[in-house]
Structure 1
Amino acid sequence: MSAPLSIAVTGQSLIRHDLRAISDPRLDEIAQILKASDVAFTNLETTIHGRHGGWPLKGSYFGAAAPEVLPALKELGFNSLALANNHAFDLGPSGILSTLEEAAAQNFLHAGIGVDKRNAAKAHKKTFGSRSVALIAMDAGPGPSFMYADDASEGRMARPGINRLKVSRVFDLEVETLNVLRSIQKRFQSSALERANYAQPENPPDVDGKDEIDFYGTVFRRSDEALRRVVVDRHSARAQLSAIAEEAGRDAFVIVYLHHHHWEPNWQQVPSWLREFAHDCVNAGAGLFVSHGAPVLQAIEIYQNTPIFYGLGNFLFHTEKVEKEWSPPEVWKSVIATCNFGSGGRLEDISLRPIVIGGTEALSDPERDRLAFPVLAGGRMAADILDDLAERSAGFDTVLSRESGIGRIAL
């Protein structure tokens, strides 16, 4: 019979500053919560600028950090990191190699990137107490194909990169509107080769010529109603699910992580494709599913006795003050969730500690500088965070209670 296991999960850690020089009891409170669990997990929302160097491959949203941020996360209490996300390739293959090297040097359980596709997709395992814990991490984009890892083939070298869950965005349109787009396409597209030119660095998407068109990289499909859909590639999903089933079959506790930026117009709404894929992961053997991307807190679901965190928002969020897109207050509120599994691996309960990223003072006064770390929320703020999360999670049949500023999901 499996031994009990506790896992603390947080929002993403977009970290650019070493926190170890900070002496603040509020930061110590956060560290105590993380260190109380067997596994403390976050997503490293950056790439490491280490000995392999690298070059910025983005404009405004470029992000890289010095190797010192990893021992800072370790000292804070984290021992497990997902490395698959939209910033992992910001320094190119060089950043991938440096991040792998530094994460291994700090002895983190880590997954989601690799020197090639096979290694990026591989589950990594570590023993905590007497439990073997496997981590599988992936990214669903959107992003250019060159940021994803690839294996070597004849005449083509391997590419270090990210473990990819391949998805595509399809717009359903009524036939009249689709025909307008088709006529525009015919007017300006001189040849099939031009279509391939504008698809670079991607390959042109495959389309059904009767019912679909590729309009300069975006697929539009004939339908009875206008609708945007995100479609998970079956072959790509099958590979990820097989890896989950393989590790679960070896009696490992499997943590599955997915990063994506296919948000709904309401950031806090859970996309239907994400829920379907999360359920598939649990059915394949995942013991815990965690997702990040939308920088806000989303619903929690308990499916087949397995916790699914559809979006935990932020934990560390070292952004520039001029970036006004992060001004909504929901961006700066989240929870630390501690999942307790009993003997046999069965989920017993989840405790939820509300936090404010950057401090409560900056949340109420935008002119104040934000702290470089989150603080525990209290009083009305804690109640509001938990009540909002409870309301959103109720739509997934999750019952969340609160007591003394702490949320609880009991099974």
Structure 2
Amino acid sequence: MVRVLATTFALVALSATTVTGQNQPPRTTWTFAAVGDVIMNRLIMQYDNEADPAFQQLVRIIREADVSFMNLEQSVFDLASFEGWPAAETGGSYELASPATLRELADMGFDLLNRANNHTTDWGVEGMRATNGLLDAMGLVHAGTGENLGLASRPGYLETRAGRIALIGMASTHTSLSRAGSQGVAVRGRPGVNPLRLNTMHYGSPQTMAELRRVATQLSVRQVDPDGGLSVFGTIVHAAARDTTIVTLNERDRRRVLHEVRNAASLSDFVVATSHTHEPSNHSMVPPDWLVRFAREAVDEGAALFVGHGPHQLRGVEIHNGRPVFYSLGNFIFQNETIDPMPMDETEIYGLPFDALASEVYDARFQVDSAGNPTWGFPTESRFYESVVAVVHFEGDEVTEMRFYPVELGWQEPRSRRGTPRLADDTTGRKIVERLAELSRPFGVVISWEKDPNSSRGIGVWRR
């Protein structure tokens, strides 16, 4: 009888917990640290000592967070034993690092990684699989890629003292050949990334349409007129009163990802949705309208945070229904000038001879002058080497504060050292935080410049 009563009480208690405590995380104070893009092919943890306090303190911030997130924008494997080959289509260059870099990233404190981006299959599906295998072996939770669309879409789960964290990774910026495909009844699914496809519609004024027809006729380019528009140079332009381009998110991808967010919200305590989005371009500090709408929808469906990355520079911060949305956190590690060796495809792109080596590829890509200074591309602008570590403070599931630690990546250092992160001094740091504050102001977010209570450095702060 005692056992029956005990069992009955236990079932009642379990039922009550299931109904009233659903999705209620442990009431603890905890922190979530997030950075943007990581392209790393040189070891950096040798700087983690008192002789380099700006690096050491940066590592401490990441390690002390309960959860630390990053976007891994490269393949990782031992090239000497790799049985695959470079893909014919890349995300812009063949990003590659040795397994030792993953060990260092884990040592820094990162435990949650996005894998969906434009560099996921630089080295083919084989490179994607090799990288994911290393992450799995190291116990690093990742999301955004898989052997088919269903697996690429599903969350990765991280168990923490604050509760169960779900990560859903995706990319609007990806190569066409890297898009994962659905598993069918009779045909296997396609390995790749969890995609966010975009629909782009171009509209031309009467003057523009007339000029397009004139140029096409002059160049003897075939013209097609679908529904009053004009198909020329592989692009359809529709007739309208004025010139404009409208980009919308593919409805099938939108519904599929939001379905995954709802599922993850039911199975975890916190959901992190993350998208690799370069659009509209790397030179835009403003996120595209479709991404703003989608990030808000993801929050409405249960995401506790939305983290954007891709354009290699900062974009604004929004608080939607009490949840942080980071539209881009910029570069955290940006060592994209020291990958060696390079596939022959890179030498062909820049018209170099067959025996050209990596340094000559970079000289051509960034148009290095006779004094050894780049005159084109990322290395010519400091903003691509200035970012933040965002640390979100939670009390249970409520966001109470966000701290933004400004980071500089050695923009004016030589190629051999450029791209390694350190906490910025107050002069550079204040410039970085003020830029982030300015970009966040249109979203109604106020970020102030304050002294870090744990150090003498200045940081950006938002409070509820």
TM-score w.r.t. structure 2 length? Answer: 0.78
User: Residue in 2 aligned with 1:27?
Assistant: 55
Aligned to 2:436: 389
Q: Is the 8 A contact 1:142 1:262 kept in 2?
A: no
Alignment partner, residue 401 of structure 1? 448
Paired with 2:409 and 2:175, the residues of 1 have a C-alpha distance of 27
**Structure 2 equivalent of residue 197 of structure 1:** none
1:130 Cα deviation after fit: 4.1
Post-superposition shift, 1:22?
Answer: 4.3
In structure 2, the CA distance between the partners of 1:302 and 1:190, relative to structure 1 (3 Å rule), is closer
Moved more, 71-80 or 151-160: 151-160
- Structure 1 position 397, deviation (Å): 0.4
Alignment: residue pair count: 388
Residue by residue, what CA displacement relative to the aligned partner does 1:312-353 show, whole Å, maximum 9, x if unpaired?
Answer: 11000002264331021111111101001112x011110111
Secondary structure of the 1:103 match is helix
Distance 1:54 1:217, change over 3 A: farther
Of the candidates 18, 32, 36, which is equivalent to residue 43 of structure 2? 18
CA distance in structure 2 between the partners assigned to 1:97 and 1:290 by the alignment: 24
> Structure 2 CA distance, aligned partners of 1:333 and 1:129?
32
AA aligned to 2:256 is A
Partner of 1:356: 408
Rounded to whole Å, the distance in 2 between the matches of 1:6 and 1:366 is 32
* 1:82-97 map, 5 Å: 82-97=114-129
1:291 to 302, 308, 318: 308
Give the conservation status (yes or no) of the 8 Å contact 1:52–1:97.
Answer: no
Per-residue CA distance 1:19-41 (angstroms, 9 max, x = gap): 34445433221110001111000
**Alpha carbons of structure 1 residues 337 and 190: separation in structure 2 relative to 1, 3 Å:** closer
Give the partner amino acid of 2:386. K
Q: Is 2:29 the counterpart of 1:2? A: no
Within 5 Å, give how 1:30-45 maps onto structure 2.
30-45=58-73
Q: Which residue of 2 aligns with 1:378?
A: 425
Equivalent in the alignment of 1:262: 279
Contact 2:223–2:232 at 8 Å: present in 1 too? no
Q: CA deviation at 1:141?
A: 1.9
| Contact 1:115–1:161 (CA under 8 A) maintained in structure 2 | yes
Q: Deviations over 1:383-409 (max 9, x none)?
A: 111112111211110011111211110
Return 5+ residue gaps in structure 1 as ranges: 192-207
Which secondary structure state, in structure 1, belongs to the residue aligned with residue 443 of structure 2?
Answer: coil
Q: Tell me the distance in 2 between the aligned counterparts of 1:277 and 1:123.
A: 18
Is residue 316 from structure 1 mapped to residue 338 from structure 2 by the alignment? no
| 1:213–1:100 Cα change, 3 Å | farther
Q: C-alpha separation between the residues in 1 aligned to 2:59 and 2:282?
A: 34
Instruction: Name the CA distance, whole Å, in 2 between partners of 1:141 and 1:408.
Output: 30
The answer for the alignment partner of 1:47 in structure 2 is: 75
Q: CA deviation at 1:124?
A: 1.3
- Whether contact under 8 Å (2:204, 2:241) holds in the other structure is yes
Distance change in 2, residues 1:265/1:38 (3 Å): closer
2:196 to 155, 159, 165: 165
1:137 paired to 2:169: yes
Higher Cα Rg, which structure:
2
Which shows bigger deviation, 94-103 or 22-31? 22-31
Report the secondary structure of 1:274's partner residue. helix
8 Å CA contact 1:116–1:149 kept in 2: the answer is yes
C-alpha offsets along residues 212-262 of structure 1, whole Å, 9 cap, x if unaligned? 555454342332221223221111101001100111123430000100221
The amino acid across from 1:332 in the alignment is: Y
**TM superposition shift of 1:170:** 2.5
Q: Is the 8 A contact 2:166 2:268 kept in 1?
A: no
Q: Percent identity?
A: 27
Which string of whole-angstrom CA distances, capped at 9 and with x for unpartnered residues, describes residues 105-156 of structure 1? 1111110000111100111112111411000000112531x21111344664
CA distance in 2, matches of 1:393, 1:353: 16
TM-score, scaled relative to structure 1? 0.87
Q: 2:290 aligns with which of 261, 269, 273?
A: 273
Deviation at 1:179, TM superposition (A): 5.6
Cα distance in 2, alignment partners of residues 180 and 169 from structure 1? 21
Distance 1:224 1:84, change over 3 A: same
Quote the Cα distance in structure 1 between the aligned partners of 2:318 and 2:302: 16
Pair 1:347-2:379 in alignment: no
Q: Secondary structure at the match of 1:68?
A: helix
Gaps of 5+ in 2: 1-23, 338-361, 367-375, 452-457
| Alignment correspondent of 1:78 | 110
